[in-house]
């Protein structure tokens, strides 16, 4: 059931992320729906589910764009492993955590993609726009992170995936007042 929920979330997230219009003044940065889902699975699941979310999320993201398959998976997976390393010392339930982590992950993955695409001569080197895009990604991460993480948690709770999961102490607690 957990795996089905993950696949559903990733597919819905991919569709949502691909179709939310991008704004010029944010450098056409995409809304980090998949990034926030990866953050959620890193904070509250860990292990295999975290890696599955990161690798599949990246695969789905690349599949709907011209980005070569594997670039986003790498970015998400490395981001998730770094976040997981500090999971014990951060406040898992705080919206601020979700804002900051989604923002950092999305901005980091954007920088990584930019470097890879420029290096592969797939896009032109436009430092001004790339800087704007990274800034836009960070801003959108701040806005979308808590919303997507909250919704993901709500869905898992409605599906009964959080109650009785003894491995996820953090996820069992009240969450944004909706748990």
86 class by beta-carbon count within 10 Å (0-12 exposed, 13-18 middle, 19+ buried): exposed
CB hemisphere CA count around 74 (13 angstroms): 10
How many residues interact with another protein (rule CB under 8 A)?
Answer: 41
Asked if 176 interacts with another protein (CB under 8 A), we say no
Cβ–Cβ < 8 Å for 172, 162: yes
What is the Cα–Cα distance from 75 to 96, expressed in whole angstroms?
Answer: 22
Asked if 55 interacts with another protein (CB under 8 A), we say yes
Site pattern 112..151 for another protein (x: CB under 8 A):
-x---x----xxx-x--x---x------------------
Cβ–Cβ < 8 Å for 27, 127: no
Nearer to another protein, 15 or 91 (CB): 15
Residues that bind another protein (CB under 8 A): 15, 18-22, 24, 27-30, 47, 51, 54-55, 59-60, 62-71, 73-74, 77-78, 81, 85, 113, 117, 122-124, 126, 129, 133
């Amino acid at each position: 059931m957990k795996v089905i929920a993950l696949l559903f979330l990733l597919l819905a997230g991919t569709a949502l992320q691909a179709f939310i219009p991008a704004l010029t003044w944010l450098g056409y940065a995409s809304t980090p729906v998949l990034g926030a889902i990866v953050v959620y699975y890193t904070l509250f699941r860990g292990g295999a589910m975290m890696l599955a979310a990161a690798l599949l999320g990246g695969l789905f993201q690349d599949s709907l764009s011209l980005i070569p398959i594997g670039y986003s998976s790498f970015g998400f997976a490395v981001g998730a492993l770094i976040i997981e390393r500090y999971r014990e010392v951060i406040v898992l339930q705080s919206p601020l955590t979700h804002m900051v982590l989604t923002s950092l992950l999305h901005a980091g993955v954007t920088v990584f993609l930019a470097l890879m695409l420029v290096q592969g001569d797939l896009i032109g080197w436009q430092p001004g726009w790339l800087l704007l895009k990274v800034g836009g990604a960070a801003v959108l991460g701040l806005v979308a992170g808590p919303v997507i993480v909250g919704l993901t948690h709500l869905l898992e709770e409605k599906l009964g995936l959080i109650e009785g999961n003894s491995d996820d102490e953090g996820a069992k607690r009240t969450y944004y007042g909706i748990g």
